[in-house]
Amino acid sequence: MAGGVRCNRSGAGTRAGVLRCDLLRHVDGRIRYCIYAWYAPERHAGGDLQRVHQLRQLHRSRRAVGDPRASDMGGAVAGPSHGRDIRGCPLKRSPLFAAQLAFTLLVCAFMLVPVVLSLLAGLTRNYFLGLSSGLTFDWLVQVWQAYSPTVWLSLQLAVACAICVCLVGVPAAYALVRMNNRFSRAFEELMVLPVAMPGLASALALLLTYGQFGSFRSSWLFILVGHVLFTLPFLVRPVMAVMQRQQLPVLEEAAASLGAGPIKRFFSVVVPNCRAGILAGVLMVVTLSLGEFNLTWMLHTPMTKTLPVGLADSYASARLEVASAYTLLFLLLIVPLLIALQAISARLARGESR
Whether the CB-CB separation of 312 and 293 falls below 8 Å is answered with yes
Report the pLDDT value the prediction gives residue 224, as an integer from 0 to 100.
94
Whether the CB-CB separation of 86 and 51 falls below 8 Å is answered with no
Whether the CB-CB separation of 176 and 236 falls below 8 Å is answered with yes
Fold topology of 147-353: MetI-like fold (1.10.3720)
Say how far apart CA 282 and CA 234 lie, in whole Å: 8
Average pLDDT, the chain: 78
Whether the CB-CB separation of 326 and 310 falls below 8 Å is answered with yes
The candidate with the shortest Cα–Cα distance to 196, out of 234, 158, 223, 167, is 234
Residue 313 has pLDDT above 60, yes or no: yes
Share of residues in the chain with pLDDT > 90 (%): 14
Whether the CB-CB separation of 224 and 161 falls below 8 Å is answered with yes
Whether the CB-CB separation of 309 and 274 falls below 8 Å is answered with no
Report the pLDDT value the prediction gives residue 25, as an integer from 0 to 100.
66
Domain range list for the chain: 104-136, 147-353
> Would you place residue 92 in the very low, low, confident or very high pLDDT band (cuts 50, 70, 90)?
low
Residue 85 has pLDDT above 70, yes or no: no
The candidate with the shortest Cα–Cα distance to 169, out of 270, 237, 226, 225, is 237
Chain centroid to Cα 179, Å, comes to 28
Considering only 47-51, 52-56, 65-69, 149-153, which range has the smallest mean pLDDT?
A: 65-69
The number of beta carbons lying within 10 Å of the beta carbon of residue 48 is 13
pLDDT tens, residue by residue, 104-145:
999 999 988 888 888 888 888 887 777 777 888 888 888 888
3-state DSSP call for residue 7?
A: coil
Report the pLDDT value the prediction gives residue 75, as an integer from 0 to 100.
47
pLDDT tens, residue by residue, 154-167:
999 999 999 999 99
